[in-house]
């Protein structure tokens, strides 16, 4: 399957979400979608990133925007993470890395002096037509949720002006 590209429609894919939900990426057409990838559930950076998106959830919803967090963790690990942190959005379990491959977020990383394959913290903004409009790679989570919200607002403004 080809990788995503800015300005191109995102290929459809089946997703396994927390709460034992199954959806397709195309199910979000008509709404803006923020899809963020994080390395591992229940780790400090990933927890903080999720909390930051949670804190801004009302502002995202005002923009008709859905947030999904994704990692390679099992559905059980994702359910536990969502429940413990009380995230007001669903998490995607991608243990077979189909979604990760589509968005090209698996990278070789240096961890404690060893090379390991892992998710590079990344976020993608997909418009209501299913087109990738913006991507953030090698994300530093501090202030990131606000930056993404600003991009959502700019996208909405541009599409209503056009």
Structural domains in the chain, CATH included, are 14-154 (3.40.30.10)
Residue (of 125, 124, 90, 121) closest to 106 by Cα position: 121
- Assign 48 a pLDDT band (cuts: 50, 70, 90): very high
Q: Does the pLDDT value for residue 141 go beyond 90? A: no
Highest mean pLDDT (candidates 1-10, 38-47, 53-62, 139-148): 53-62
State the pLDDT at residue 1. 62
- Average pLDDT for 131-139: 95
Q: Does the pLDDT value for residue 31 go beyond 80? A: yes
**Which tens digits make up the pLDDT trace of 50-65?**
999 999 999 999 999 9
The beta strands (E) that lie in 50-142 are given as: 65-71, 90-93, 106-111, 114-119, 122-126, 132-136
CB crowding 115-150: b at 16 or more within 10 Å, else e: eeebbbbbbbbbbbebebbbbbeebebeebbeebbe
Q: Does the pLDDT value for residue 160 go beyond 80? A: no
Q: CA dihedral in degrees (143, 10, 105, 34; nearest 10)?
A: 20
The residues assigned a catalytic role are 46
Contact between 3 and 71 under an 8 Å Cβ cutoff? The reply is no
Residue matched to tokens 């979604």: 99
- Average pLDDT for 24-28: 94
- Assign 162 a pLDDT band (cuts: 50, 70, 90): low
Q: Give bridge partners of residue 125 from the DSSP assignment.
A: 34, 134
State the pLDDT at residue 64. 94
- Assign 113 a pLDDT band (cuts: 50, 70, 90): confident
The full length of the chain comes to 162
Q: How far is CA 92 from CA 97, 113, 155, in A?
A: 11, 29, 24
Neighbours of 157 (CB within 10 A): 10
Please tell me whether residue 19 adopts helix, strand or coil conformation. coil
**Which tens digits make up the pLDDT trace of 75-94?**
999 999 999 999 999 999 99
């Amino acid at each position: 399957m080809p990788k995503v590209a800015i300005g191109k429609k995102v290929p459809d894919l089946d997703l396994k979400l927390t709460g034992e939900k199954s959806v397709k990426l195309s199910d979000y057409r008509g709404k803006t979608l923020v899809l963020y990838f994080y390395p591992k559930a229940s780790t400090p950076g990933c927890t903080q990133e999720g909390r930051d998106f949670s804190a801004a959830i009302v502002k995202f919803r005002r923009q008709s925007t859905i947030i999904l967090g994704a990692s390679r963790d099992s559905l059980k690990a994702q359910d536990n993470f969502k429940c413990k942190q009380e995230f007001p959005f669903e998490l995607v379990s991608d243990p077979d890395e189909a979604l990760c491959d589509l968005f090209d977020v698996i990278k070789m990383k240096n961890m404690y002096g060893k090379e390991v394959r892992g998710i590079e913290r990344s976020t993608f903004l997909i418009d209501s037509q299913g087109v990738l409009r913006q991507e953030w790679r090698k994300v530093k989570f501090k202030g990131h949720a606000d930056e993404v919200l600003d991009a959502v607002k700019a996208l909405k403004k541009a599409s209503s002006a056009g």
